[in-house]
Amino acid sequence: MRKDLDLQIEQLRTNVVAMAERADEMLGRCLQALSDGDRAAAEATIAEDEELDRAYEQVQHGVLAVVALHGPVGHDLRLLTGVVHVSLHLERMGDYAVNTASAVLAVAEYPADPDLTEQLVEMGALAREVGRTAVRSFVQEDPDLGHQVAELDDTVDRYDRGIFQRLVRLAGRDEERIEWATRMIRVSRHLERYADHGVDIAEQTVFVATGEAVDLGRRRPD
């Protein structure tokens, strides 16, 4: 029975990693769409969301089956609970990638600001790093790495605040870019929320490894 439980938990962990890779690829594609004006990349991001949703449902059902069959306790139960939460956060991260891609499509015909576009792409790359590091911390059950995720997220938050201020100023002085700037404010917020879900995953890492429920978001500046 122990061997069967271990094998099933390992399969769930593998499925979570696959979800994380898909969400990461989705964000990467929509950042390409933003940088290059690549409508096909944005549309591909949106189309892939259904696969991520199905993977989320499979993980949820898999966890319920393992709990019903084995009645796990202690660390095993914490890990399975963590898998439930992490898969949900990954599904939401995919949603934010889709929202970003949709915004890119919506402003395809409007003039963009190259410098601000570059900053948004840089912010998105940092958000991807937050997500990747968070998943790595969960898979390795490394609470120290989990705490580092919050530090990475601080930089994403600083980008969000700075980009917001620059976009507001741009919209105020250039009427032709009001629509683009308004949509990009939303993009910045989508990227910030993507990274926040990475922090939530890191919190699950700490819980699984130590049994301690933590709020890593408290260390982030307002």
| Dihedral sign for Cα atoms in the order 116, 45, 96, 147 | negative
pLDDT tens profile 162-178? 999 999 999 888 888 89
Question: Domain 2-219 falls in which CATH fold?
Answer: Methane Monooxygenase Hydroxylase; Chain G, domain 1 (1.20.58)
Q: Reduced to 3 states, what is the DSSP secondary structure of residue 158?
A: helix
| Integer angstrom CA distances of residue 48 from 89, 95, 179 | 17, 10, 27
Contacts of residue 46, defined as CB under 8 A and 6 or more positions apart, other chains included, come to 98, 101, 102
Q: What predicted TM-score, i.e. pTM, was given to this entire model?
A: 0.94
- The residue among 193, 22, 29 whose CA lies nearest residue 102 is 29
Q: What is the pLDDT of residue 163?
A: 96
Q: What is the pLDDT of residue 218?
A: 58
pLDDT tens profile 94-121? 999 999 999 999 998 888 899 999 999 9
Q: Domain residues of the chain, as ranges?
A: 2-219
Strands, E assignment, the chain: none
Token pair for residue 115? 């410098």
| Dihedral sign for Cα atoms in the order 19, 24, 28, 31 | positive
- Provide the pLDDT confidence category of residue 80 given band limits of 50, 70 and 90: very high
Token pair for residue 98? 């889709």
Mean of pLDDT values over 30-54: 94
- Provide the pLDDT confidence category of residue 4 given band limits of 50, 70 and 90: confident
Distance CA 194, CA 27 (A): 9
**Mean pLDDT of all residues belonging to the chain:** 93
